[in-house]
Structure 1
Amino acid sequence: MKKQYKYLFWDIDDTLIDFKSSEKVALKMCFQQFGVVLTDEDVAVYSQINHNYWELLVQGGIEKSTMLTRRFEDFVQQLSLDGIDCHAMNALYQVKLGDYAVMTDDGYDVCAQLSRSKKQYAVTNGTAVAQNKKLQITGLGALFDGIFISDVVGYEKPDVRFFQHAFSKIPDFNPEEALMIGDSLSSDMTGANNAGIHCCWFNPKGKVKGDASIQIDYEIKTLKELFEIVG
Structure 2
Amino acid sequence: MSKYKHILLDLDETLLDFHASEKSCFIALMKSLEITNEQELYEFFSPINKSLWKLLERKLIDKPTLFQTRFSKLLDHAASKEYITNPSGIPSVMEVNNMYFKLMSQSGIPIEGAHDFLHRLQSVDGIDLSAITNGNTITAKGRFASSNLNSRIKRLYISDEVGFDKPDIRFFDYVMKDIGDSNPDNYLVVGDSLTSDIQGANNCGMPCCLFSRTGILPDGYELLRIDQTALDYESIYNIVTNA
Correspondences of 1:167-186 after superposition (within 5 Å): 167-186=176-195
Which residue pairs with 1:67 in the alignment? Answer: 66
Instruction: Provide the TM-score with structure 1 as the length reference.
Output: 0.94
Which residue pairs with 2:115 in the alignment? Answer: 108
Residue 38 of structure 1 and its aligned partner are, at CA, apart by: 4.0
Aligned 8 A contact 1:106 1:224 in 2 = no
Which residue pairs with 1:200 in the alignment? Answer: 209
Amino acid paired to 2:122: S
**Unmatched 5+ stretches in structure 2:** none
Which has the higher Rg, Structure 1 or Structure 2?
Answer: 2
Which residue pairs with 2:104 in the alignment? Answer: 97
CA distance in 2, matches of 1:205, 1:76: 33
CA distance in 2, matches of 1:44, 1:224: 32
CA distance in 2, matches of 1:41, 1:103: 25
4+ long deviations beyond 3 Å: 81-84
Which residue pairs with 1:56 in the alignment? Answer: 55
Residue 173 of structure 1 and its aligned partner are, at CA, apart by: 4.5
Amino acid paired to 1:21: A
Amino acid paired to 1:169: D
Residue 174 of structure 1 and its aligned partner are, at CA, apart by: 2.9
SS in structure 1 at match of 2:239? helix
Amino acid paired to 1:52: S
Correspondences of 1:1-231 after superposition (within 5 Å): 4-80=3-79, 81=84, 82=87, 83-117=90-124, 118-211=127-220, 212-231=222-241
Instruction: Provide the TM-score with structure 2 as the length reference.
Output: 0.89
**Unmatched 5+ stretches in structure 1:** none
In percent, how many aligned pairs have the same letter? 29
SS in structure 1 at match of 2:175? helix
Aligned 8 A contact 2:107 2:147 in 1 = no
Amino acid paired to 1:103: P
Residue 27 of structure 1 and its aligned partner are, at CA, apart by: 0.8
RMSD over equivalenced CA pairs, Å: 1.6
